[in-house]
């Protein structure tokens, strides 16, 4: 049969193929020998890899990664944003004023006066208007009004739930998203039995020429007063912002913020709407030295939170005829189970702490070589990642940054020495890893106590769910797990604020502001990197736990508290002898001034 034209075309070879030159036999042999040689080399390499488990094979090839030159080629591990200096000439003028003795005196008076009002908050505070312990906040508001006249004559003030303070500094350009700056008015109570242990009375606000002493000096009246001072000074310079700034000052941050920040959040959602703010800044990370280098570590996330209450009941009676286990005995055994079974912790490359470590390795000048190698190698080696965890988790502080923690903080039971206790309870405080959830923690605790509930013949109920139902009269008693304060106070880990990419502009602005403040306050070259900014994570929670809906994941926990200024004297945060060096406070005021000016000038937030 005739062949089709299409088939004929398929059989015709291109002219270029027909006319291509034929290689001489010697060239072919050379190619064959070359191929055989490469093949043999590959076989040797593969066998060597198998014998040395590959990691040993590439050790020498990658040794340069761990040389001193690489260790300090820091951009590979922890890139830094540019220093951001405000363009407004008022910035330099304010800075010069902050450096004078006259301004130092004003700053001391501002903070000392705030400390002298004991705005203590307690876990058991009753509603505002019913509990008289709230009355000191009224005095504090009166103090702020007198201390900062320009703030109160320029900014609008709304009092939320009586003692929550919401200021608005209206900008001239409504197209710019506002910025939310937060702090809290309250302080942790001073234990009366420790009052005599203070170097100076806890609410004296004493200034010794170097330090300002008293409860709240460090946490967080310095942040609140530092922010108010910065705005007062800017107003004295006739500064009018284009961007709106909102100040939110809660009144019970130290007691889970139910009456303060929670109500402020509702008010701001009603006024501004969801995700209305370009970013939020609250207290958090600080400036400190690690491995011979100065680091600033703004918090970009927070751990979750759960106060677990454990209630045990059993029959009462006279203690002269005791049972094998009393209610307190059973509860004690349950608590021993907690302490014998801490939550497992492992190093992970997707944790914020790991990012912090990368910066330490990139810039730390005195970091031990084995730790630096473990950090760098952990990027591509699971074995090195585990080794890194083994090194770091010998320190409980590092465990607290990464894993879920548990602390037995409260216990109560019994009313008389000769009466069997019918009830006893304890509270276990959990700080939940950013890689876990509230439900995972509840499940962990529930599963851990199942066998003991059975051993003691207890009806077991966990957060409303019956785990084991032992009916009376066969049940000896009951075991109930619940939220400690019956107010659903548990908290999921916070979203992580972006630190790179197009959504990291607030972090970039904060980073540049930190560096500009640090350099200018010390008279250093402005454009140079004298402080390294690394993502961090506070171990506690701030009022921002209530503000997640106000900004699209842009929450930065940082108020430029310079821990380096303390040197040999501890800050005493939450304990005896809380204080703040005046130089650290002046630098905080300078930071807030720089932050406001930089935020106002930015157009890419």
For the purposes of burial, counting CB atoms within 10 Å of the CB of 495, is it exposed (0-12), middle (13-18) or buried (19 or more)?
A: middle
Q: Is 525 a catalytic residue?
A: no
Which residue, among 147, 180, 144, 185, has the nearest Cα to 163 in the 3D structure?
A: 185
Alpha-carbon gap, residue 447 to 441, rounded angstroms: 10
| Phi, psi (degrees; rounded to nearest 5) at 217 | -55, -35
- Within 10 A of 6 (CB to CB), how many other CB atoms are there? 7
SS3 (DSSP) at 444: helix
Closest CA to 589 of 302, 214, 212, 240: 212
Rounded Cα distance between 105 and 113, Å, is 12
Distance CA 419, CA 320 (A): 9
Which residues are 1's β-sheet partners? none
Q: How far apart are CA 264 and CA 557, in angstroms?
A: 18
254 in a labelled binding site: yes
Burial annotation 457-487 (CB, 10 A radius, 16+ → b, else e): ebbbbbbeeebeebeeeebbbbbbbbebeee
d(CA 231, CA 148): 9
Tell me which of 220, 252, 253, 587 is the catalytic residue.
253
Q: Please state, in angstroms and rounded to a whole number, the distance separating the CA atoms of residues 85 and 426.
A: 52
CA angle 595, 598, 603 (to 5 degrees): 135
From first CA to last CA, the distance across the chain in angstroms is: 76
Residues 6+ apart with CB under 8 A from 417: 319
Residues 6 or more apart whose Cβ sits within 8 Å of residue 528: 83, 519
Cβ atoms 509, 602 nearer than 8 A:
yes
Catalytic residue among 120, 186, 283, 286: 186
Nearest to 308 by CA among 121, 458, 491: 491
Would residue 253 show up in a list of annotated catalytic residues for this protein? yes
Q: Is 530 marked as a binding-site residue? A: no
Tell me whether residue 350 is annotated as binding: no
Tell me whether residue 34 is annotated as binding: no
Half-sphere exposure of 305 (CA within 13 A, CB side): 18
Is residue 409 annotated as involved in ligand binding? no
List active site positions.
Answer: 186, 253
Binding residues: 184, 219, 254, 282, 574
Binding residues for Zn(2+): 184, 219, 254, 282, 574
């Amino acid at each position: 049969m005739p062949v089709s034209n299409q088939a004929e075309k398929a059989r015709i070879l291109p002219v270029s193929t027909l006319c291509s030159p034929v290689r001489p036999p010697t060239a072919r042999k050379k190619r064959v020998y070359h191929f055989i040689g490469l093949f043999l080399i590959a076989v040797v390499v593969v066998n060597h890899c198998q014998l040395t488990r590959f990691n040993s094979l590439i050790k020498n090839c990658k040794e340069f990664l761990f040389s001193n030159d690489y260790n300090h080629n820091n951009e590979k591990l922890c890139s830094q944003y540019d220093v951001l200096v405000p363009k407004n000439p008022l910035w330099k003028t304010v800075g010069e004023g902050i450096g004078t003795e006259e301004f130092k005196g004003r700053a001391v008076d501002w903070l000392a006066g705030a400390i002298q009002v004991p705005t203590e908050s307690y876990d058991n505070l009753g509603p505002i208007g019913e509990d008289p312990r709230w009355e000191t906040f009224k005095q504090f508001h009166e103090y702020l009004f007198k201390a900062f006249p320009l703030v109160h004559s320029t900014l609008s003030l709304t009092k939320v739930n009586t003692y929550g303070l919401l200021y608005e500094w209206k900008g001239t350009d409504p197209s710019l998203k506002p910025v939310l700056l937060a702090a809290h008015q309250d302080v942790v109570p001073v234990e009366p039995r420790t009052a005599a242990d203070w170097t100076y009375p806890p609410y004296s606000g004493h200034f010794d020429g170097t330090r300002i002493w008293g409860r709240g000096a460090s946490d967080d009246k310095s942040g609140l007063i530092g922010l108010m001072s910065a705005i007062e000074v800017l107003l004295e310079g006739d500064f009018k912002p284009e961007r709106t700034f909102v100040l939110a000052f809660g009144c019970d941050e130290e007691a889970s913020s139910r009456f303060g920040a929670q109500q402020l959040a509702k008010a701001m959602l009603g006024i501004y709407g969801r995700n209305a703010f370009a970013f939020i800044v609250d207290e958090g990370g600080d400036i400190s030295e690690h491995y011979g280098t100065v680091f600033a570590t703004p918090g970009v996330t927070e751990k979750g939170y759960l106060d677990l209450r454990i209630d045990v009941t059993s029959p009462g009676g006279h203690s002269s005829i005791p049972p094998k286990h009393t209610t307190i005995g059973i509860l004690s055994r349950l608590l021993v189970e907690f302490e014998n079974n801490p939550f497992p912790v492992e190093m992970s490359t997707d944790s914020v702490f790991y990012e912090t470590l990368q910066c330490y390795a990139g810039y730390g000048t005195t970091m031990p070589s084995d730790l630096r190698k473990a950090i760098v190698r952990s990027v591509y080696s699971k074995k090195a990642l585990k080794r890194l965890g083994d090194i770091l988790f010998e320190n409980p502080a590092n465990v607290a940054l990464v894993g879920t923690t548990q602390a037995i903080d409260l216990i109560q039971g019994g009313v008389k020495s000769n009466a069997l206790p019918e009830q006893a309870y304890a509270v276990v405080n959990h700080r939940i890893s950013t890689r876990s959830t509230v439900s995972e923690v509840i499940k962990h605790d529930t599963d851990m106590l199942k066998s003991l509930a059975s051993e003691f013949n207890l009806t077991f109920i966990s957060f409303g769910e019956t785990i084991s139902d032992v009916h009376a009269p066969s049940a000896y008693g009951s075991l109930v797990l619940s939220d400690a304060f019956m107010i659903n106070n548990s908290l999921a880990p916070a979203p992580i604020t972006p630190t790179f990419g197009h959504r990291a502009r607030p972090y970039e602005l904060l980073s540049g502001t930190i560096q500009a403040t640090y350099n200018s306050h010390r008279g250093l070259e402005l454009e140079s990197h004298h402080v390294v900014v690394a993502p961090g994570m506070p171990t506690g929670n701030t009022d921002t736990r209530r503000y997640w809906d106000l900004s699209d994941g842009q929450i930065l926990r940082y108020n430029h508290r310079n821990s380096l200024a303390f040197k040999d004297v501890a800050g005493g945060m939450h304990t005896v002898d809380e204080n703040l060096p005046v130089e650290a406070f002046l630098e905080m005021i300078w930071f807030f001034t720089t932050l406001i000016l930089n935020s106002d000038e930015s157009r890419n937030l």
